[in-house]
Amino acid sequence: MVTAVVAAASAVAILAAVVIAVRLAGARSERRFEAVLGQLDHHMEAISENLQRAVERSQDARTTGIGELGLTLDLGELLDRLVAEAALRTDAQAAAVRVRGPGEFHATASFGVEDGAALLEAALGPPDARPFRALTLAWSYAPMAEGDAGLFRSALVVPILEDGGETGALAAFARASGAFRPEHAQALEALVDEAAPGLGNARRYAEAELRAVTDALTGVRNRRGYDDELEREVARARRTGRPLSLLLLDLDDFKEVNARFDYPGGDLVLQEYAALLARLARATDTVCRRGGDEFAILLPETAGDEARQFYDRARDEVAGTAFTHVGRMTFSAGLVEWRPNETRESLDARASAAVSRAKRADKDRLEADWP
């Protein structure tokens, strides 16, 4: 689109130069000069029409968003555009998508509803497991709820296919009963066909990014992943005003483990320790290896008191685990809650200082710092 506009503008500049050249060189006759101007007027009108059409096409692409679906490698951004376009094409009030993401994860996005993607967690399809092109659903409610105008009463689901395999599903939701017709199903099928190449590219990029932020030893986020996730969660907390807590855990006397069992033994302990923390974490939490034997757990939508309960569970689990070679272990911890307008660096520094205080005090304890 931009190329067409640039090309047309270049043509205008060339024609203007021709006019100037003709005037400077002088025409052999007034009649010939008038003929040249007539031709220029004709070309200028054609170019003006082409420019107008190019601008209109560009505006249409921006309005629908479909022209930009394949122009991003950010999987989350792509899914956000996809659900918005799905709602637009089907006149739906909400939409959701769930696709295979990088690694063992799934990626989801919703439009017009907070947790629409949760509906796609169930296995949707015919009883004989045959591939389907589209699926319509209808919900009925108890009499007391029937009068609620905010209830969704119908849905349309289409599978997302990439290279012949199903990688997810896209759904549109409506508050009216029987809201979706065959043309809506066709529109969603066309949409997922258009989005499939972009989804494949975005997933490959996300997988490469995931490898770059994953600790090779433990499988949790590395220091770069920690910094990125903390920056993202702080920005989210600032935008939404919702709480965010950060818990730093530092294994006590881990240097003695390395000294006694050498690094392979220490590595095994770190792997078991990281796996334990990952099991305790919620789906929304992020476990990171901040460095050495220090781990961080990001707890979004979690105030300090609730984060303290997570610490208590982690302390009990670690205390009750017999780690390979070393048996029982303990850790010192620092817990902080994000303050309004606080930066990522400040939040991290407060948590690190809290861990240091716990280490100096007597180890195997928690130092907390929140409003």
pLDDT of 54 reads 41
Mean pLDDT value of segment 29-52: 50
Query: Mean pLDDT highest for which of 49-63, 66-80, 193-207, 264-278?
Result: 264-278
Percent of the chain with pLDDT over 90: 54
At residue 123, does pLDDT exceed 70? no
Q: Could you tell me whether strands 331-337 and 366-369 are parallel, antiparallel, or unpaired per DSSP bridges?
A: parallel
Q: Is residue 126 scored above 80 in pLDDT? A: no
CATH class as words, domain 68-212 = alpha beta
User: Which uninterrupted H or E stretch holds 147?
Assistant: none
Q: What is the dihedral of CA 129, 131, 134, 140, to 10 degrees?
A: 0
Each residue of 233-250: pLDDT tens digit?
999 999 999 999 999 999
Residue 210: per-residue pLDDT: 87
Could you tell me which residues come within 8 angstroms of residue 134 by beta carbon, excluding any fewer than 6 positions away?
A: 156, 157, 158, 185, 188, 189
Q: Are strands 154-162 and 135-138 parallel, antiparallel or unpaired?
A: antiparallel
Q: Residue 200 corresponds to which tokens in the numbers above?
A: 């494949």
Domain 223-369: CATH superfamily is Reverse transcriptase/Diguanylate cyclase domain (3.30.70.270)
Closest to 219 in 3D by CA, of 284, 270, 143: 270
What stretches of 164-222 show up as alpha helix (H) in DSSP? 182-212
Predicted confidence band at 12 (pLDDT cuts at 50, 70, 90)? very low
Using the predicted structure, report yes or no on whether residue 253 has a pLDDT greater than 80: yes
Whether pLDDT at 23 is above 80: no
Calpha distance 141→217 (Å, rounded): 50
pLDDT at 118 exceeding the cut of 70: no
User: What DSSP designation does 370 have?
Assistant: -
Contact 167, 161 (CB under 8 A): yes
Which pLDDT belongs to residue 362?
Answer: 86
Cβ neighbours of 203 (radius 10 Å):
20
Mean pLDDT of 278-299: 95
Alpha carbon 47 to chain centroid distance?
42
Hey, what amino acid is at 171? A
**Mean pLDDT value across residues 301-322:** 95
Residues 107, 209: contact at Cβ < 8 Å? no
- Confidence at residue 47, expressed as pLDDT on a 0 to 100 scale: 46
Res 117: pLDDT: 61
pLDDT digits (tens, 9 = 90+) for 313-332: 999 999 999 999 899 999 99
The region of weakest confidence among 38-47, 125-134, 315-324 is 38-47
pTM: 0.62
Beta bridge partners of 323: 327
Query: Does the structure show a pLDDT above 80 at 120?
Result: no
Question: Residue 334: exposed, middle, or buried by beta-carbon count in 10 A (0-12, 13-18, 19+)?
Answer: buried
Domain segments of the chain as ranges: 2-64, 68-212, 223-369
User: Range with the lowest mean pLDDT among 45-49, 156-160, 220-224, 308-312?
Assistant: 45-49
DSSP line for 56-105: HHHHHHHHHSGGGGGG---HHHHHHHHHHHHHHHHT-SEEEEEEE-STT-
pLDDT band at 45 (very low <50, low <70, confident <90, very high): low
Cβ neighbours of 336 (radius 10 Å): 27
- pLDDT confidence of residue 41: 55
Torsion of CA 296, 300, 302, 308, to 10 degrees: -10
State mean pLDDT over 254-262. Answer: 90
Contacts for 233-239 with beta carbons within 8 Å, 24 or more apart?
233/286, 233/298, 233/300, 234/338, 234/342, 234/343, 234/344, 234/347, 236/300, 237/300, 237/338, 238/340, 238/341
